[in-house]
Structure 1
Amino acid sequence: MTTNKEQKNKSDLLLALEQLEREKNIKREDVFKTITDSLVSALRKYFGKTAQIMAGIDPDTGEMAGFLVKKVSDPVITPELEITLAEAQVHQPDAKLGDDVHIPVPIQDFSRIAAQTAKQVLIQKIREIEKVRVYDEYKPREGEVVTGLVHHVAGRDIFVDLGKAEAILPFSEQIRREHYSVNQRVRAIIHRVDKENKGLQIVLSRASGNFLKALFEAEVPEISEKVIEILDVVRDPGFRAKVLVRSNSPKVDPVGACVGIRGSRIRVIMNELSNEKIDLIPYIEDTLTMIAKSFSPATVSSVKILDKEAKRAQIIVPDDQLAMAIGREGQNIRLASRLTGWEIEVKSEGQRSEDNKRTTDMAMQDLLKIDGIGAKVAETLITMNVLDIRTVAGLTEEELCSLEGIGEKTAQKIIAGAKKFLEENPNYGQAAAQEEAPKTEEVKNEPEKTEGK
């Protein structure tokens, strides 16, 4: 017969288990197994490692019971595992030789030890189950924007309370100019969810391109409706971003839709990102035009492909646009290169004029070394992009005669003089030939109004 106190304890156990099942989604059967395993472990320490022990819990009352399991034998060789028929029938009247008999053992002396062990195991079990539950809930939500409160700051990392779980906003995923305090609201994207040996980690990000993309999806209905696509995002978090957009409808301007009426849409996004400047770049299939557009808000005069295979290009900008094209500490050119995938060199029109003059002067000095070439002929050759003696030596008489001011005899004399010079100077132009750039392709970019905020 159980006392009222014992009945109360049993009720408390069942109530606690019901609460665990309700709040932590931990099944009562799992907790029963944890407790019985702990009780078996405690009893085994007393009865010996070889003893066969069973334990159970009444699911209706919560009453625990422990048993020694022994086989009915005659004679008894191993007392820890065997029992005589007479002794067995005391506990189980219908027992016969070969049967397993369950002998009740008092568990009161082991309840405290079992409770402590069960508590530790249960806490670990709860943590593991909680980890699995949180992982299963948040792993599919990677890429989703969430809002939480700063729980605490550890070093330069921020720990954020999401309600059902705690997440980390690492320093590498923060916007550098931002500072956080406890209980401050934080909006970020679930960057990734890792299940490691040391525990579950939900990593948030405010610095990733996906976060900016998600903000646009939230503010611009045309994006969620697939009328407008965001093809790429590159960022210098907190300072500047470039967003490549394309419209799937000829009636919808992708840049205008993202900006909104009087900048209403993009202003909300910029405020969320500590006033990060955002350049919206309309996608264009033509590579040269795309490179020019990527330098928004700077105006590009022309683009020249230096090496198509290596993806190297050069852009020319007006003198007053050079600083803007390069950006603070090279920020704009760096973002444009990342957006287009090209290595880009920037020069002003003044710098190009200086380079051209320097190249012309060097070519003039070089060509005047050839017998038969005077200043006027040298100017003509330079105009036709013939800039060195080796190129002159490779020309035919017909090609030279086609140039203004060069007759047949002059052409013969020039070619002979060039070949003679090369014979006398066999190492001429070798260093220059190694550094010679591939053939270039250039397109002028007509000034056009570009959208950028």
Structure 2
Amino acid sequence: MAVSANRLELLQIADAVAREKSIDRMVVIEAMQDAIEKAAKARYGAETEIKAEINPRSGELRMWRLLEIVDEVEEPSRQVNLKYAQSKNGNAKIGDFLTEPLPPIEFGRIAAQSAKQVIVQKVRDAERDRMYEEYSGRIGEIVNGTVKRVEYGNVIVDLGRGEGIIRRDELIPREQFRYGDRVRAYIYDVRREQRGPQIFLSRTHPQFMAKLFMQEVPEIYDGIITIRSIARDPGSRAKIAVTSSDSSIDPVGACVGMRGSRVQAVVGELQGEKIDIIPWTDNIADLVVSALQPADVAKVVLDEQAERIEVVVPDEQLSLAIGRRGQNVRLASQLIGWDIDILTEQEESERRQKEFTERSALFMEALDVDEMVAQLLASEGFSSVEELAYIELDEIASIEGFDEETAAEIQNRAVEYLAEIDRKFDEERVALGVEDELYEISGLTAAMLVALGKEDIKTVEDFAGCAADDLVGWTERKDGELKRFEGTFKDFPVSREEAEEMILQARLKAGWITEDELAQQQGEAGDEEAAV
């Protein structure tokens, strides 16, 4: 049995397939051309080079055999000599191809089946490319779909022109879907895979909530209100921080809506997830007070270098501030991006008393003074012997009950105490083999050199090879939480800028950089600061 198709049928088939699969008509026509070429090779020989072309307007099919022009023919089915080629075309030259028209062929059953497989595969590849291009450009959007099936807790969603998957961990807890249910989800990733493009959807992603608010709140859609941060415990509770570029519009009120209509629409979509909407501010202290609502905050202490916040709350507010299973403080921490420690007023008082006792004991031992003098120094805010040794004498003398003579004696004892400690550290430094030359780097003390020696940093070259992170430590965010990694100078009050300056001095001393290069680097750093 032979199969043939007239011109009109070829174009009708191409149009029908292109409409059904939502792909370009020319892709289908090119697939047909590839299929015809494969069928023709089955008839004329697999080694034969054949070109088929379907006119996209008339549907006319033409075929040629391509023969490479060579000096000496080795494969008669693929090559032709120059003399013969020039008899057909006077301009022919070595390396060109001579074309010979071939008559239309009728497809046998096997050839027709083979051609069908080629067309099906080409169309499937084109359909996959079309789907990937369409949905990869829609990452970050909300899509609506119908549940097609549920497999091992994963929900397969029919999106109309594609198929997406909501994995079990991207579903809101206790959420159940059945075949035919309508579902809204957020496209967070599209990947090319062996079995075709995979569209990954989520209902737990923080941006799913942001996009829902954008649909419900026109001011967000128009860009008047901006969502600055979101923290979610899917299906349970969420915190969202918003700000307005128009001072006449209350961002929180706009998101809540009349009688809570706007926020309730989002809550309904998220299976009753409670949402706290707070006003964003660049003042971290004010922001943490708002983020910990409904708990009252008595005091906030910031550690900007470690990005850690210490919050003091009334004793009866502790459980409210922490929340059920730590939910309230965890969401507040995620919203702000800083770690938050919660203390009660009693705990803070006990800690302050402990610190006062420890400082008093330190002054009694270091300065050889009685308890009353030590407590007086501690109560005046002095926290270390270094402060007493290097502070202006008048500040000590101004303490009630002290005169200049007493102040001078206290300062002398502080200096002698620190000198003795330095002597002991210097002995330890020598024992560790740390070079004296490191003393020439401004800012380094004997205690610091001991710490460096314990890390096997013993020469100027060793120190020049350090990075600021090695000395002062660094922080990394893992699984939504900040993790602190300590540096060699963890026990010393050295800032990152001071550490970088010390390292530059060492590199200059070691000959790694010149004075001119150092001046240029410092000048560039100054320009950057001025630009900021």
TM above 0.5: yes
CA distance in 2, matches of 1:403, 1:52: 102
Distance of aligned partners of 1:198 and 1:275 in 2 relative to their CA distance in 1, 3 Å threshold: same
Give % identity.
37
The equivalences for 1:5-404 within 5 A come to: 15-26=12-23, 30-51=27-48, 53=50, 98=88, 102=101, 104=103, 107=106, 110-196=107-193, 198-306=195-303, 308-369=304-365, 373-394=369-390, 397-404=393-400
Structure 1 residues 416-448: Cα deviation after superposition (integer angstroms, max 9, x where no partner): 5555666777769x79x9646789xxxxxxxxx
Q: CA deviation at 1:268?
A: 1.7
Residue 229 of structure 2 aligns with an amino acid whose one-letter code is D
With over 3 angstroms needed to count, the CA separation of the structure-2 counterparts of 1:22 and 1:358, relative to structure 1, is same
Between Structure 1 and Structure 2, how many residues are aligned?
A: 414
Per-residue deviation, residues 300-325 of structure 1 (Å, max 9, x unmatched):
1111123x333333221112222232
Whether contact under 8 Å (1:370, 1:414) holds in the other structure is no
**TM-aligned CA distance change 1:151 to 1:364, over 3 Å:** same
Name the SS for the 1:234 alignment partner: strand
The aligned amino acid for 1:152 is R
User: 2:61, 2:104 within 8 Å by CA — same for their partners in 1?
Assistant: no
* 1:423–1:249 distance in 2 versus 1, CA, 3 Å: closer
The 1:78/1:404 distance shift into structure 2, 3 A limit, reads: closer
Q: Which moved more, 1:220-229 or 1:5-14?
A: 5-14
Cα displacement string for residues 328-349 of structure 1 (whole angstroms, at most 9, x for unaligned residues): 4433333323332333322111
Mind listing any 5+ residue stretches in structure 1 that lack a counterpart? Answer: 72-76, 84-96, 440-453
Kindly tell me: are residues 66 and 255 of structure 1, through their superposed partners in 2, closer, same or farther at Cα, counting changes over 3 Å? closer
Q: Which amino acid aligns with 1:38?
A: A
The residue type paired with residue 290 of structure 1 is L
TM-score normalised per structure 2: 0.66
Q: Please give the secondary structure, in 1, of the residue aligned with 2:212.
A: helix
For 2:277 and 2:17, how far apart are their aligned partners in 1? Answer: 51
Give the Cα separation in 2 of the matches to 1:364 and 1:186: 66
1:70/1:102 contact within 8 Å kept: no
Structure of higher RCO (CA pairs closer than 8 Å, 6+ residues apart): 1
The change in CA–CA distance for 1:39 and 1:351 in structure 2 (over 3 A counts) is same
Cα offset for 1:187? 0.8
Cα separation, partners in 2 of 1:353 and 1:60, compared to 1, 3 Å: closer
Give the CA RMSD over aligned residues. Answer: 4.0
Alignment partner, residue 448 of structure 1? none
Counterpart CA distance in 2 for 1:139 and 1:436 is 50
The amino acid that maps onto 2:151 is A
C-alpha distance in 2, partners of 1:81/1:212?
63
Q: Distance in 2 between matches of 1:239 and 1:436?
A: 43
- C-alpha separation in 1, matches of 2:227 and 2:4: 65
> Within 1, Cα distance between the matches of 2:374 and 2:55?
108
SS at match of 2:176: coil
Structure 2 runs not aligned, ≥5 long: 69-73, 81-86, 90-98, 426-446, 449-488, 496-532
In the TM superposition, what is the alpha-carbon distance from 1:399 to its structure 2 partner?
Answer: 2.7
**What is the CA deviation profile of residues 57-80 of structure 1, one whole-angstrom value per residue up to 9, with x for unaligned ones?**
798998989787899xxxxx9986
Q: Which amino acid aligns with 2:315?
A: D
Aligned 8 A contact 1:390 1:418 in 2:
yes
| Farther off after superposition, 335-344 or 310-319 | 335-344
- Say which SS state the counterpart of residue 296 (structure 2) adopts: coil
Q: CA separation of 1:20/1:405 partners in 2, compared to 1, >3 Å: closer, same or farther?
A: same
Query: 2:277, 2:191 → 1: CA distance?
Result: 33
CA distance in 1, matches of 2:348, 2:309: 14
The verdict on how the C-alpha distance between 1:304 and 1:436 changes in structure 2, with shifts beyond 3 A counting, is farther
Distance in 1 (CA, whole Å) between partners of 2:48 and 2:41 is 7
Distance in structure 2 (CA, Å) of the matches to 1:389 and 1:54? 92
Structure 1 position 400, deviation (Å): 2.5
Q: CA deviation at 1:162?
A: 0.9
SS of equivalent to 2:223: coil
1:404 CA displacement: 0.9
| Structure exhibiting the larger radius of gyration computed from Cα positions | 1
Query: If the length of structure 1 is used for normalisation, what is the TM-score?
Result: 0.76
Counterparts of 1:119 and 1:278 in 2: how far apart (Å)?
A: 56
Closer/same/farther in 2, CA of residues 174 and 409 from structure 1, 3 Å limit: same
Tell me which amino acid in the other structure corresponds to 1:269.
V
**CA distance, structure 1, for counterparts of residue 207 and residue 36 of structure 2:** 51
Rounded to whole Å, the distance in 2 between the matches of 1:342 and 1:396 is 37
Q: Equivalents in 2 of 1:146, 1:291: separation in Å?
A: 34
Distance verdict in 2 for CA 1:49–1:162, change over 3 Å: closer
Q: Classify 1:154/1:316 alpha carbon distance in 2 versus 1 (closer, same or farther; 3 Å).
A: same
Q: Give the CA deviation at 1:255.
A: 0.9
Are the structure 2 counterparts of residues 28 and 148 from structure 1 closer, same or farther at C-alpha, using a change threshold of 3 Å?
closer
Contact 1:38–1:117, Cα closer than 8 Å, also in 2: yes
3-state SS of paired residue (1:142): coil
Aligned in 2, Cα 1:162/1:32: closer, same or farther, shift over 3 Å?
closer
- Structure 2 CA distance for aligned equivalents of residues 103 and 227 of structure 1: 68
Query: How far does residue 212 in structure 1 lie from its aligned partner after superposition?
Result: 0.8
Cα distance between partner residues in 2 of 1:105 and 1:9? 11
The 8 Å contact of residues 291 and 340 in structure 1, kept in 2 or not, is answered as yes
Asked whether the equivalents of residues 242 and 280 of structure 2 are also in contact (C-alpha less than 8 Å), the reply is yes
Q: Retained in 2: the 8 A contact 1:39–1:55? A: yes
- Aligned AA (1:357): Q
Taking a change above 3 Å as real, the CA distance of residues 114 and 422 of structure 1, as seen in their structure-2 partners, is same
CA distance in 2, matches of 1:382, 1:27: 81
Q: CA deviation at 1:387?
A: 3.9
1:132 deviation in Å? 2.7
